[in-house]
Amino acid sequence: MRKQLLSALLFAPAFSLAAGSAIITLEMPVGARQLGMGEAGAALADDATAMYYNPAGLAFGPLADEWRVSYPKETKDAPFFTSMTSRSKNGFFAKSELWAGTAEGILKFDGEQWVDYYSVTLQGNAKVRDAVRVYVGTERGLDEYTRQVKKFNDIQNADDESHVVEVKMPWNLVVNDTITAVLYEDRTEKLWVGTPKGLFRFDGKGWKSYESELGTHRITALANQGASLWIGTDDGLFVYRNGQFEQKGKVLPSQKITALVWSENRHELFVAADGAGIARLVPKKSVNDKDRWSLFNEEDGILDVHATDLAVDSSGHIWAAHKGGLSHFTLRKWEQVQFAGNTVNSISVDQRGAIWIATDKGVWKHLPDYATASGRKAELERGAAEEEEGVKRNDEWTHFHSGNGLSSNKVWTVLPQGNDVWFSTSKGMEQYKDADYQLTAFYEKLLPILNIPDLYHLYGGLTIPLNDWGTLGFSVNFVSFGSTVVSGDIDADDLVAYNSSEIVGGISYGTRFPNDWGLGLSVKFFYSDLSSGASTGEEEATTFGYAFDIGMLKKNLIVDKLNFALVLANIGPSVYYVDKTIEDPIPLTWRIGLSYELLSLADYKWIIAADYNREVVYDDDKGDPEPFYIACWKSIVNPEREGDGLTAAKNSLLQGVFNVGTEFIYSNTIALRLGYLYDDTGKRNEVDFGFGFMLSDVLQFDFATIKDVGDHDGVRDGQMRFGMLFKF
């Protein structure tokens, strides 16, 4: 009976397991993305399906928290990246954006890399000059602007221009000075930019200069309050509302504004006036009302009267950066935090309420006790008297420096953006990427040409980043072999139907080592039921057991963006179904992979990948399976096909499966994939096609299908795969 079941279920052309090996689900590849690339994934291993292909992929981003130099630019005395601003991801389908001001203009991060241009699509019969006119917002100097844009796009003549559909407009075409302040206004979706020569605004189509309205003040700070824009300069404070500018704060002892922050909790503006202290403004609410000002100086408890940066946290507390430390306004009083022997450069607050402090000796992350759930409860229970007396708090401090992630200790600016934190350092722009949880699901109907309704394959996986410890993953791989009808052992007319299935559950872990090495381990537990529903008296063909995978991944091998992977999968003891004396090995497999990023531009990304999968099951002279530490090399040295020398090596090589694929991604939104699989043993010669849609930063859908190009039955021809990846 057992042989009848196996011959009915394990289709050699379809699955190509080595003779005698069991637990086919251990070798069922997953993920519509990889399956659209010829089933190559060992060296990619950058999503939740890495638990199948190579658990070492869990050691790297985007699966793991990761430090990286996003834009290398070494400077010593002054920052190249002077300021940063971001567009928050408010909607489910929205994508986050990041702009940075530099000593040479503006750069934008597109999710993959920094770009120095804005793309404009030409409509109808529009020419490059027409697009430039809208972009620069003026007729003055239009000929020179157009010449620069054509040069930037390598448009040399009219024939070149006639083929242009998308024009790249340099960010510094209009604003080509040192950027002193940037602010993205979410409500109006406008980017405000300050320079030593004045204020500029980009509305998504073109630029506007406010030189005629505001003058040529050196812009030092920008803050947003609903429909009002607050502008700090070295010669006064201004507010822009309803198309009009108005100067404020003439009563302040100093008109040199160094920082601004608006407190939405208290509807107050805090202003750092160099040499005078920190001022608080309660703006007037009507025409007949008056602005109310108050000024804090050293007598009120601030560290000094030369604050360089301001931030407001989730509780409405105000934080001020000074060269020697911090001033903290608790809404009752000012407190001081001194940084002895260090210089504080800037301060920012993340969405969880943590304070990020950039200094000359790295970055401190400070989570105040009142920003935690337990701290907020304790604060509500305390009275003002207890606050004055001083109560011990459980504040958290974390120090990031060149010894635990940063490339440089000198940090000028820090900006938390969602799960990421960006650092302007003396080495350039650095990023700490706080990895998302990833949830993936996959489905395929197996062997559609056979039209078996309950023959299908399911997979689900979840990855959980563990900060500096790597990433943990959980996965389930399930195959339903459907219902198989066989004849009884005694009466050939006695037909029996069996439901057959296998399930594999796994726990994976990957961690990173220096020099871009990653190591991963997967422990898998399986249950195989080949005769569920057997009649009374029949012995069920079931088995269960375990296996584990060991994987290695080397990033940037020899050259940048070339990855190498080596995996030994399905290490574990043999299994039996009915007769203990008849054991079958599980499919021990070597998996070798390479991947290389051929192209990485603002709108395009092109990757190629290749895998070689070699099953290394080997029996001894008695027909019993050899242990994995012998089979893993002996099967290679002694292939099943006979031969000597080069013939033996060729025969050994042809016992494996060759996979190669490519992926082309446009604008981080649409992915096109093509792959090829060659399996001489299993008589498979297939081309794979696939595509994917990235909906926002959190959701991705993938599809793939198989086209058989061989001269055999091709039972997988037309097989379709569907996948989903959700990040949260």
> pLDDT by residue (tens digit) across 605-615?
899 999 999 99
Each residue of 294-332: pLDDT tens digit? Answer: 999 999 999 999 999 999 998 899 999 999 999 999 989
Check: CB of residue 415 under 8 Å from CB of residue 426. no
Number of C-beta neighbours around residue 517 at 10 A: 14
Residue that has been written with the tokens 């190009």 in this structure: 709
Number of C-beta neighbours around residue 250 at 10 A: 9
Type of residue at 357: I
Which residues make beta-bridge pairs with 207?
202
662: closest CA among 36, 9, 205?
A: 36
527: closest CA among 25, 6, 9?
A: 25
> Residue 17: inside a domain, yes or no?
yes
Number of C-beta neighbours around residue 298 at 10 A: 12
Each residue of 120-165: pLDDT tens digit? Answer: 998 888 899 999 999 999 999 999 999 999 999 999 999 998 888 8
Strand order across the beta sheet in which 219-225 lies = 219-225, 228-233, 236-241, 244-248
Report the pLDDT value the prediction gives residue 390, as an integer from 0 to 100: 47
Residue that has been written with the tokens 């559909």 in this structure: 165
Number of C-beta neighbours around residue 392 at 10 A: 6
CA 207 to chain CA mean position, Å: 31
Mean of pLDDT over the chain = 87
> Residue 235: inside a domain, yes or no?
no
Q: Residues of the chain with pLDDT > 90: what percent?
A: 62
CA distance 281 to 267: 9
Q: Which residue would you say has higher pLDDT here, 21 or 704?
A: 704
The sign one gets for the Cα dihedral 123, 126, 128, 132 is negative
Which residues touch 88 (CB under 8 Å, ≥6 apart)? 96, 186, 418
Identify the domain containing residue 696 by its residue range. 2-65+436-727
pLDDT exceeds 50 at position 86: yes
> Residue 498: inside a domain, yes or no?
yes
Q: Which residue would you say has higher pLDDT here, 512 or 374?
A: 512
For the chain, how many structural domains are there in total? Answer: 1
> Residue 505: inside a domain, yes or no?
yes
Report the pLDDT value the prediction gives residue 308, as an integer from 0 to 100: 96
Give the tokens for residue 179: 């950027």
432: closest CA among 533, 363, 383, 375?
A: 363
> Residue 609: inside a domain, yes or no?
yes
CA distance 700 to 298: 54
pLDDT exceeds 60 at position 193: yes
> Residue 74: inside a domain, yes or no?
no
CA distance 548 to 196: 61
Check: CB of residue 52 under 8 Å from CB of residue 34. no
Type of residue at 469: W
> Residue 478: inside a domain, yes or no?
yes
**What is the SS3 assignment for 52?**
helix
For residues 218-230, average pLDDT:
94
CATH number (domain holding residue 469): 2.40.160.40
For residues 88-103, average pLDDT:
74
CA distance 161 to 453: 55
Q: Tell me whether the omega of the peptide bond preceding residue 587 falls within 30 degrees of 0, making it cis.
A: no
Kind and range of the H or E run holding 389: helix 384-389
Type of residue at 292: R
CA distance 668 to 670: 6
526: closest CA among 491, 483, 486, 575?
A: 575
Q: How many CA atoms lie within 13 A of 626 on its CB side?
A: 15
CA distance 259 to 223: 9
For residues 668-678, average pLDDT:
93
> Residue 687: inside a domain, yes or no?
yes
Report the pLDDT value the prediction gives residue 77, as an integer from 0 to 100: 85
Quick one: CA torsion of 145, 148, 150, 152, rounded to 10 degrees?
-140
pLDDT exceeds 90 at position 452: no
**What is the SS3 assignment for 45?**
coil
